Amino acid sequence: MAVGKDSFPKMYPVPGFKLGTASAGIKTPGRKDLVVMEITEGGAIAGVFTKNAFCAAPVQLTKAHIGNTSPRYLVTNTGNANAGTGESGRENARAVCQAMGQVAGIAGEAVLPFSTGVIGEPLPVERIIAALPMAFSALSESGWQDAAHGILTTDTRPKGASVQLSLAGKTVTITGVSKGSGMIKPNMATMLAYVATDVGLEQAMLQVLVNDAVNASFNRITIDGDTSTNDCAMLVATGASGVNIDELPAEEQASFKSALLDIFISLAQQIVQDGEGATKFVTVHVTGGADSSECLSVAYTVAESPLVKTALFASDPNWGRILAAIGRADVPDLDVDAVQVYLGDVLIAEQGGRAGSYTEAQGQAVMDQDEICIRILLNRGNVSETIWTTDLSYDYVKINAEYRT
């Protein structure tokens, strides 16, 4: 179950970046579950990673490799997270990197591993290594759609975004894919995401850009409040277009950054739309806060409240649950009489209680929609924050109760 249109967009190839997908039979025989990505020599990569203390072996190894080498290949497997696996997990991740290095004729340290799936199970290294040559032989700049399918777990559909724009009189491209449906609560990024551009960027600037983009996109979504052990969001710059960001005028630099942010936001919102069991796409917009922290505290408390989320699933305009969540968001000295709450454009609460103009029919009309905006005005400052979330359905419980079966 998912919200919104199920249509995969046109994906523009990124010169200097190739993707190849194969089946390793990691969890489901015949399913495409192994993706190899190739970065042209001289390209740059930066990323953000989960802050979960039990971060997976591939996350540990990728962080080490990206800091000490110029990575050339990324290897992603689904069906097994290689998390909670201790030293043997790290050895298995190294074995995959060394095997990929042998296939490509490079050092294993120039390979970045990524995994997603069940936590605590040994990585089936032999199956992955056996399938690497197939994925390598499938490498193509047009391999985005197969890769988008190959990185999925409980997702019901692939997620992609792509754009071309003119910079310095040339056409440049930004294209990306992501996966994620459950165990989604950002604490850096969330899930797995890979975005590439053919604009030239130094690694230091690339890191700034991915940090900024993630903070405004993947760090603004939540499905269930659970931060994964395997979260990574990577940004690659091949430079193959011949356009260097440092040589562009400020206006064109701003255009590139805006387009890049749009790609990240699209990929993040697609994850929410495909949240496990989701029937609603919900925007929680908090405005008039004293600072970002209190706005986010209110937004996440509302978005992650089981009572609010189940009311959303039932299309029940039980606005008292929203008020209760705002009240426990630990905002210091909150003046509840100053708070206003809207469902869509309908004012539902003010002056500490139900708005005089509100009717149940108005609230019901909003709650019956697939896409809902909860707008909260704190009226105590000038800061605003927005996050995106889902409802909580029967299917969410079923999917996660049966995840290992």
The mean per-residue pLDDT over the stretch 149-162 comes to 93
> Which contiguous run of DSSP H or E holds residue 377?
strand 371-377
Length of the chain as a residue count: 405
Token reading at 401: 């109760």
185 contact partners, CB below 8 Å, separation of at least 6: 222, 223, 224, 225, 226, 227, 304
What is the Cβ-side half-sphere exposure of residue 65, based on CA atoms within 13 angstroms?
Answer: 28
**What gap in Å lies between CA 350 and CA 377, rounded to an integer?**
10
176 sits in the region (left: phi over 0; alpha: psi -120 to 50; else beta) called beta
**Residues β-bridged to residue 73:** 38, 111
What is the Cβ-side half-sphere exposure of residue 389, based on CA atoms within 13 angstroms?
Answer: 31
Question: What angle is formed at CA 79 by the lines to CA 78 and CA 82, rounded to 5 degrees?
Answer: 85
Cβ neighbours, 10 Å, residue 386? 16
At residue 4, the pLDDT reads 80
At residue 265, the pLDDT reads 97
At residue 39, the pLDDT reads 98
Question: What angle is formed at CA 198 by the lines to CA 192 and CA 202, rounded to 5 degrees?
Answer: 85
With CA atoms as reference, report the closest residue to 371 among 225, 273, 304, 263.
273
Share of the chain above pLDDT 70, in %: 99
The mean per-residue pLDDT over the stretch 273-286 comes to 93
Q: How far is CA 220 from the centre of its chain?
A: 9
Backbone φ, ψ for residue 267 (5° rounding) = -65, -40
pLDDT tens profile 36-64: 999 999 999 999 998 888 999 999 999 99
Is beta strand 232-237 parallel, antiparallel or unpaired with respect to 192-197? parallel
Contact 55, 90 (CB under 8 A): no
The reported pTM is 0.94
Token reading at 305: 């409240």
Confidence of residue 366 (pLDDT cuts 50, 70, 90): very high
Angle, helix 250-273 to helix 203-215, in steps of 10 degrees: 50
pLDDT tens profile 170-196: 999 999 999 988 877 767 665 899 999
**What gap in Å lies between CA 215 and CA 187, rounded to an integer?**
9
The mean per-residue pLDDT over the stretch 201-205 comes to 94
Residue 221: DSSP 8-state: B
Residue 121: pLDDT over 70: yes
Q: Average pLDDT, whole number, for the chain?
A: 94
Token reading at 241: 């277009």
pLDDT tens profile 244-263: 999 999 999 999 999 999 99
At residue 120, the pLDDT reads 94
With CA atoms as reference, report the closest residue to 75 among 98, 55, 56, 53.
98
Token reading at 304: 């992650």
Domains and CATH numbers, the chain: 17-273 (3.60.70.12), 281-401 (3.10.20.340)
Backbone φ, ψ for residue 359 (5° rounding) = -130, 150
> Which contiguous run of DSSP H or E holds residue 319?
helix 319-327
At residue 308, the pLDDT reads 97
Q: Which residue has the tokens 């990323």?
A: 47
The mean per-residue pLDDT over the stretch 102-112 comes to 97
At residue 1, the pLDDT reads 65
345 contact partners, CB below 8 Å, separation of at least 6: none
Active site (catalytic) residues: 190
Residue 220: pLDDT over 70: yes
Q: Which residue has the tokens 């030293």?
A: 87
Question: What angle is formed at CA 329 by the lines to CA 316 and CA 379, rounded to 5 degrees?
Answer: 90
Q: Which long-range contacts (CB under 8 A, 24 or more apart) does 205-210 make?
A: 205/245, 205/246, 206/44, 206/45, 206/46, 206/235, 206/237, 207/46, 209/46, 209/235, 209/257, 209/260, 210/46, 210/47, 210/48, 210/234, 210/235
At residue 183, the pLDDT reads 73
**What gap in Å lies between CA 27 and CA 402, rounded to an integer?**
14
Cα torsion 210, 216, 219, 222 to 10°: value is: -140
